[in-house]
Amino acid sequence: MRIIGGKFKSRRFNPPAKNWPTRPTTDFAKEGLFNILLNHWDFESIKVLDLFGGTGSHSYEFISRGCCDVTYVDKFPG
């Protein structure tokens, strides 16, 4: 998995556990999502709550793109 934009662009990271029970969002889908979000909000001025965070990929994207307050929540104890 990798971060697709922002100051940490192209950095790779591993999922929290080898037997993680979820599939990560594809780069193609993340890029589409963040292109839409960037057209509507200034990331430096919003707070993000990532419920059902899974691998944390979306949280890392928000941080990379300038969000200063990101909260990640997931039920799986990993």
Cβ contacts of residue 43 below 8 Å, gap of 6+?
37, 62, 65, 66, 67
- Please list the residues that pair with 51 across neighbouring strands: none
Identify the H or E element spanning 22. none
What letter represents residue 43's amino acid? F
- Looking at residue 9, what is its pLDDT? 95
| pLDDT at 55 exceeding the cut of 90 | no
| pLDDT at 17 exceeding the cut of 80 | no
- Looking at residue 61, what is its pLDDT? 95
Q: Which CATH superfamily is domain 1-14+25-78 in?
A: Vaccinia Virus protein VP39 (3.40.50.150)
- Looking at residue 78, what is its pLDDT? 58
- Looking at residue 74, what is its pLDDT? 85
Specify whether the CB–CB gap between 39 and 12 falls below 8 A: no
| Distance, CA of 18 to CA of 78 (rounded, Å) | 9
| Distance, CA of 61 to CA of 78 (rounded, Å) | 21
| pLDDT at 20 exceeding the cut of 70 | no
Q: What percent of the chain has pLDDT over 90?
A: 65
> Where is pLDDT greater, at 19 or 59?
59
Delimit the domains of the chain by residue range. Answer: 1-14+25-78
